[in-house]
A and B are shown apart, each in its own frame.
Chain A
Amino acid sequence: MDKFRRWIASSDMASIVVLAIVVFAVLPATTDIFRLNLIGKYLTYAFVAVGLVMLWGYGGILSLGQGVFFGLGGYCMAMFLKLEASDPVSTKIQSTPGIPDFMDWNQLTALPFWWEPFRHLPVALIGMLVVPMVLAAVIGFAMFKRRVGGVYFAIITQAVAMIITVLIIGQQGYTGGVNGITDLKTMLGWDIRTDSAKYILYFANAILLFVAIFACRAVQRTKLGTLLLAMRDKEDRVRFSGYDVANFKVFVFCLAATLCGVGGAMFTLQVGFMSPSFVGIVPSIEMVIFAAVGGRMSLVGAVYGTLLVNFGKTYFSESFPEMWLFLMAALFIGVVMAFPNGLAGLWESYVKPWLLRERQAVPVPAPEKTPAVAEDPSEAEAASTRPVARSPEHAPASKNRSDGVDPAVA
């Protein structure tokens, strides 16, 4: 039992296993399919939160436009499903049968050419990965190569979120407008609305989420992961150690965007529609708070944070709608001011010491810290979850390095 307790406390693998038990066994066993489907929806947001841990927690880059990538992934999937739902037979009452209903309502008489490829599932699947990645690469290269960072990057991603939302809503003939793409029914003939389909999709989504967590964990353990942390705290030092800092930022931005895309596609499949209300500024910032509540440095924490905030949101907006925004406000403020490392931080500073409490008395099995095992996860974890004094590098004013000996002699 003691050994088990110690394992729980000191291995990051343990926390992943515990999460897996919760997601794969506890939740499906204790909730009905309606609630489970809801949880599945939350877990699609967890992709975004996991991506934000890499981007924001590790890379120090705050994007307020992750909803854009979530939406792009979701729309790729929704376009495929919509085309399948819009076969000429079931749309024969339209003036132009065979095109999505909203196109018909907007007097379109033919399918736009860029919709055509989405008749094929492989295109949709590749699209949900590649479209967000490419957009992230374009924005990333444009911004990071020009050394746009910190709050400027946050504001620009916000503007991008606004542009994409306005575009989707404005071009309703092509995108379904403010309602989004709705009435999705089948995928390759398989009805996604049945209970059994919802079960299968829930588990598929959960498996993908764990693949994402393991992939991110693998990246964290490479030199690239170390470099991200190094860049976040001392960008200039990394640059003057011979690294092209921008490329690493683009990489992690693309990684986060791709994860969002997967989440968005899984959202579409489980919820049965996609709309601009998941793309804009408000959902994008809400997704940041999922990661912040879980702990911006913890992949597993991000999933718990997402679940917790969304349970709260559902509960409160059903029971006390007035209270919800106040609670959300308190979450934003509290997590920033009092718990900058979120749930994972609480775990590190309260639960873990308690689990390890005899260690002081019997100091034998302390994990050795030799350079040879510098990849020891507990060490990386310890280094990363400590309250990190966010370096002033992000502040515009601090660009002028305080040059004690070199004040301008005017």
Chain B
Amino acid sequence: MGLSASDLWNIVVMQGFAGLSLFSVLLLMGLGLAIIFGQMGVINMAHGEFMTVGAYTIFMLSSLTETYAPSLMPYYFLVAIAVAFVLAFAAGWLAEWALIRHLYRRPLDTLLATWGLSLGMQQIFRSTFGAKEVSPTLPEWLLGSWSPTEGLDIPINGMFVMGLTLLVTGGVFLMLYRSRWGLRVRATVSNRGMANAIGINTRNTDRMTFAIGCGIAGVAGAAFTTIGSTGPTSGSLYIVDAFLVVTFGGAASLLGTVASAFGIAQTQSITEFFLTGSMAKVLTLLAIITILMIRPQGLFALKMRR
């Protein structure tokens, strides 16, 4: 192909950065799932739809701001991220109350029920926003790119999303390992009965955990709007990948989730340049399945006495 070494290097860096955007979405999706699945053993097939809730929130707020307060356009995005979290959190809270709490201990059934939930949510999106994909108007400062050297263009939205992801990931770690909620979650995971006995309201803890997981998916949706347009089924595109991220990383390990999201996104993004997109996807998925076969408990699972 006649690529020089520096061309090749630039390609790797740029594909790497493209991979970072994918990494951000996968990680934000995966974090929420990992909390819900790893900590509660619940498979949430509707997780992608909670992400879509976040994405549509951004779209709505962008339209509102554009119509009623155009001068605030540069700032709305930051507020919208918070609103996306809150709305997805509320939706998750509702879903847990109406559905999930009746199905603990029946993981396969939860899987089917949440799939039903995802179908319903998709139809709600379609009825409300139409079947066509929509994109919010992004603030000026998110557009454009940054060229540290010649031939190298790094999009700003990618860096923003990256930063947001790091912030959320850090926040989740802090909450899980430094807050009362985190302590309650970890206690509930390691021994539900005992946690109950010492006065932890495990029902509330579960609901909170589920809602926070969904809230993070909402933030993932906000991040998603900077790199793609939103349709009723946008969330379902990522759900399988997100599940693989969680299982691949080892369900109980947040660190594993980070590492596997990074690995999967980079593998896919870099192979994508050399192969067609579909073959890159196939190879990535095959690699994950093969590794999962060798290490079924995931990359970062603890060795437990059992």
Contact = CB atoms under 8 A, between A and B. Distances in A.
Contacts of A151: 37, 43, 107-108, 111
A210 to B, nearest CB: 28
9 contacts: A62-B111, A146-B296, A152-B296, A158-B243, A163-B289, A166-B285, A335-B112, A340-B109, A396-B41
A303 interface: no
A62 B118 CA distance: 19
Contact of A289 (B43, B105, B112): B112
B240 A162 contact: yes
A333 B106 contact: no
A232 B102 CA distance: 21
A372 B305 CA distance: 43
A147 B306 CA distance: 15
B99 to A, nearest CB: 7
A394 B116 contact: no
Interface in B158-176: none
Interface string A49-67: 0000000100000101000
A169 B278 contact: yes
Interface in A33-55: none
B247 interface: yes
Interface of A: 56, 62, 64, 142-143, 146-148, 150-152, 154-156, 158-160, 162-163, 166-167, 169-170, 281, 285, 288-289, 292, 322, 325-326, 328-333, 335-337, 340, 390, 392, 394-397, 399-401, 403, 406, 408
B114 to A, nearest CB: 8
Interface in B74-132: 99, 102-103, 105-113, 115-120, 122-123, 126-127
A148 B292 contact: yes
Given A158-B243, A166-B278, A322-B127, A337 B108 contact: no
Given A64-B111, A397-B41, 6 more contacts: A150-B107, A150-B108, A155-B244, A166-B282, A329-B120, A337-B113
Contact of A156 (B111, B292, B306): B292
Contacts, number: 138
Specify the main secondary structure of chain B where it touches its partner.
helix
B110 to A, nearest CB: 8
Interface in B1-51: 37, 41, 43
A154 B108 contact: yes
A325 B123 contact: yes
Contacts of B296: 146-148, 152
A332 B111 CA distance: 10
Ranked nearest first, the 6 interchain pairs of A and B with the lowest CB-CB distance are A332-B116, A170-B278, A329-B120, A325-B123, A333-B116, A329-B119
Contacts of B126: 325
B293 interface: yes
B282 A337 contact: no
Contacts of A170: 276-279, 282
A147 B292 CA distance: 11
B304 interface: yes
A389 B252 CA distance: 25
B206 to A, nearest CB: 13
Nearest to A335: B112
A336 B102 CA distance: 10
B261 interface: no
B92 to A, nearest CB: 16
Contacts of A326: 119-120, 123
A390 B127 contact: no
A408 B232 CA distance: 49
A408 B111 contact: no
B306 A400 contact: yes
B208 interface: no
B282 A167 contact: yes
Among A152, A335, A397, find the residue whose CB has the most chain B CB atoms closer than 10 A. A397
Contact of A329 (B41, B108, B117, B252): B117
Nearest to A392: B105
Contacts of A395: 41, 105, 107
A154 B110 CA distance: 12
B240 A158 contact: yes
B112 A292 contact: yes
Contact of B243 (A155, A335, A390): A155
